């Protein structure tokens, strides 16, 4: 037989073994492809989430009657939870994913930070009609409120005093609420509802989502400290805050004496 010819072992056992090995290689390749796709999809999901926060915030702040500018100018941090889903008549559940940006600097006088991703979870008790999707914007009004949100989890109404934020001209008449509340809550709903509240719900740092968005392990405190660059997906949210509230207009005396970062 010519030296250029190769004799192939076509015994059934050999053929079966070859097919088995090839099948394992194909399965491994498919598994790696699916795993890579899942990682990419996860990263894209967090980027879409950060972009949605910017879109919601811009839409809300473009209408001056929504959130009084003087309150926004005194806020240390802003949390945006787009598209929070709530379903209930009497007792309901609420859940959503969003982001928080804070003013940087030891006394909150610096520019707005990169967004740290947060999750809103928990029970909601109140009179509600049907189900609706709701966007929330929360103003964190003092260092105590910031410190609460930088812990692993905060229960609104218990760990941090939260109140429905006044709108438009109502802000001037709501001095008692403003003095007591650490967090002011605003909502924009696409459905019918009455008497909604965030009390009893919890806000927590979404560490896994932050890792996907920034590509490394970062706590919310590290992100909002100003030491982390703003990712492309978070540019709209931060740019909107810098446009509408470039400077902290809280009482200068309180900025010097009481507003040290937690």
- 140 closest CA partner among 108, 170, 172: 108
How far is the C-alpha of 141 from the C-alpha of 181, rounded, in Å? 8
Continuous segment of H or E residues that includes residue 78 = strand 77-102
Q: How many CB atoms lie within 10 A of CB 130?
A: 11
Interatomic CA distance for residues 114 and 128, integer angstroms: 35
> Quick check: 240 and 57 in contact, CB under 8 A?
yes
Residue 166 CA to chain centroid, in angstroms? Answer: 23
Burial 220-256 (b: 16+ CB within 10 A, else e): bbbbbbbebebbebbebbbebbeebbeebebeeeebe
Q: Decide if pLDDT at 167 tops 70.
A: yes
Choose among 36, 37, 206: nearest CA to 117: 206
Backbone phi and psi for residue 102, each to the nearest 5 degrees, phi listed first: -125, 155
Give this prediction's pTM.
Answer: 0.76
Q: Which residue has the tokens 């696409």?
A: 190
What confidence category does residue 91 fall into, taking pLDDT thresholds of 50, 70 and 90?
very low
**Mean pLDDT across 134-146:** 90
Q: What CA–CA distance (Å, rounded) separates 243 from 236? A: 10
pLDDT (0 to 100) of residue 76: 95
Range of weakest confidence among 41-50, 54-63, 238-247: 41-50
CB atoms within 10 A of CB 209: 21
pLDDT in tens, 7-39: 455 566 665 666 666 666 665 655 555 444 444
Rounded to whole angstroms, the Cα distance separating 260 from 262 reads 6
Distance CA 261, CA 204 (A): 19
pLDDT score recorded for residue 40: 43
pLDDT at 122: 73
Element (H, E) at 202: strand 201-205
Tens digits of per-residue pLDDT, 205-233?
A: 999 999 999 999 999 999 999 989 999 99
Closest CA to 102 of 48, 157, 54, 143: 143
């Amino acid at each position: 037989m010519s030296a250029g010819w190769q004799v192939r072992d076509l015994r059934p056992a050999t053929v079966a073994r070859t097919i088995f090995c090839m099948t394992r290689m194909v399965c491994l390749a498919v598994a790696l492809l699916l795993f890579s796709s899942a990682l990419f999809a996860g990263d894209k999901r967090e980027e879409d989430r950060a972009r949605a926060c910017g879109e919601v915030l811009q839409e809300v702040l473009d209408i001056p009657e929504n959130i009084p500018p003087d309150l926004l100018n005194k806020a240390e941090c802003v949390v945006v939870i787009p598209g929070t889903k709530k379903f209930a008549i009497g007792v309901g559940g609420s859940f959503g994913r969003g982001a928080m940006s804070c003013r940087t600097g030891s006394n909150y006088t610096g520019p707005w930070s990169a967004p740290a991703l947060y999750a809103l979870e928990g029970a909601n008790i109140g009179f509600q009609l049907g189900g609706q999707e709701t966007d929330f914007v929360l103003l964190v009004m003092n260092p105590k409120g910031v410190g609460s949100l930088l812990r692993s989890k905060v229960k609104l109404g218990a760990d941090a005093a939260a109140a429905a934020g006044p709108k438009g001209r109502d802000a001037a008449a709501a001095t008692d609420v403003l003095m007591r509340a650490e967090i002011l809550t605003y909502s924009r709903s696409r459905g019918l509802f009455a008497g909604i509240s965030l009390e009893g719900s919890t806000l927590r740092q979404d560490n896994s989502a932050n890792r996907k968005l920034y590509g490394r392990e970062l706590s919310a405190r590290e992100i909002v400290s100003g030491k982390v660059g703003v990712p492309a997906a978070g540019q709209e949210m931060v740019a909107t805050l810098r446009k509408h509230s470039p400077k902290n207009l809280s009482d200068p005396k309180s900025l010097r004496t009481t507003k040290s970062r937690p």
